[in-house]
Amino acid sequence: MDINKTLLLIIDVQNDFCPGGALAVADADAVIAPLNALSAVLRSAATQDWHPQGHVSFASSHDGKKPGDIIDTSLVKGQVLWPDHCVQGTGGADFHKDLNLNPVSMIVRKGFRSELDSYSAFFENDRLTSTGLAGWIKSLGIETVIMGGIATDYCVFYSAMDCKKLGFKVFIASDAVRGVGYPKDSVENAVEAMKREGIEFCSSKELLDRLK
């Protein structure tokens, strides 16, 4: 692996997805140490889930709905509804304090349109609107993207699948991801689908060795 053609993409390591947060993912803060170890040696970018109040993905925005319900919106079929989370400018939307952002040269915010959610770092959930990240990565001559963060079965999954389709070699740092696990089997299904697509799972330690 050529270290100069490899990017680390850190997905949504924010307070609301960590223990104590509004959409807490079990053990999510365990992703931070391996991500900091990788960003110490790699060019790095991070995404930040960044919703306006009243966002379409919040159960509270829909009469009679609760988190976990699934609805069709004007733009997207099968939108999962979540507790209010990562509201712009709130502490829950901040990156976890232990994530080292100093080496991160690009931060992409997503999910900022009221009527449209965005799980992927590359395309919003209408699957049409680009975030611009692909162009930035391509302009750097990057060929390989190592990904980690939260959540394995949502934002990491959609980001990794899009990244692979865009033509990059994609690795998931296996000790640097944690999943929501809703609906049942969503983590297993996501991992299976990623592997089928040719996305490789590798520990951060093995990735660091391969980058030497």
Q: Under the rule (CB under 5 A), what is the footprint of Zn ion?
A: 49
Which of Zn ion, ligand VGL, none binds 150 (CB below 5-8 Å, type-dependent)?
Answer: ligand VGL
Overall size of the chain counted in residues: 212
Burial tier of 91 (Cβ tally within 10 Å: 0-12, 13-18, 19+): exposed
Per partner kind, with CB cut-offs from 5 to 8 A, the member of Zn ion, ligand VGL, none near residue 161 is: none
Task: Judge contact between 146 and 9, C-beta under 8 A.
Answer: yes
Q: Based on CB atoms, which residue is closest to ligand VGL, 137 or 177?
A: 177
Q: Has 110 been annotated as catalytic?
A: yes
Cβ–Cβ under 8 Å, residues 148 and 173: yes
61: nearest Cα among 74, 48, 46, 43: 74
The yes-or-no answer on residue 86 being catalytic is no
Choose the catalytic residue: 29, 49, 86, 110: 110
Catalytic residue among 12, 84, 162, 175: 12
Nearer to ligand VGL, 82 or 168 (CB): 82
- By Cβ distance, which residue is nearest to Zn ion? 49
134 binds, among Zn ion, ligand VGL, none (CB under 5 to 8 A by kind): none
In the complex, the residues that contact ligand VGL under the rule CB under 6 A are: 12, 17, 49, 82, 150-151, 154-155
Residue with smaller CB distance to ligand VGL, 118 or 208: 118
User: Which amino acid makes up residue 121?
Assistant: A
Tokens 């931060």 appear where? 107
Antiparallel, parallel or unpaired: β 169-178 and 79-80? unpaired
Which residues have a catalytic role annotated?
12, 110, 155
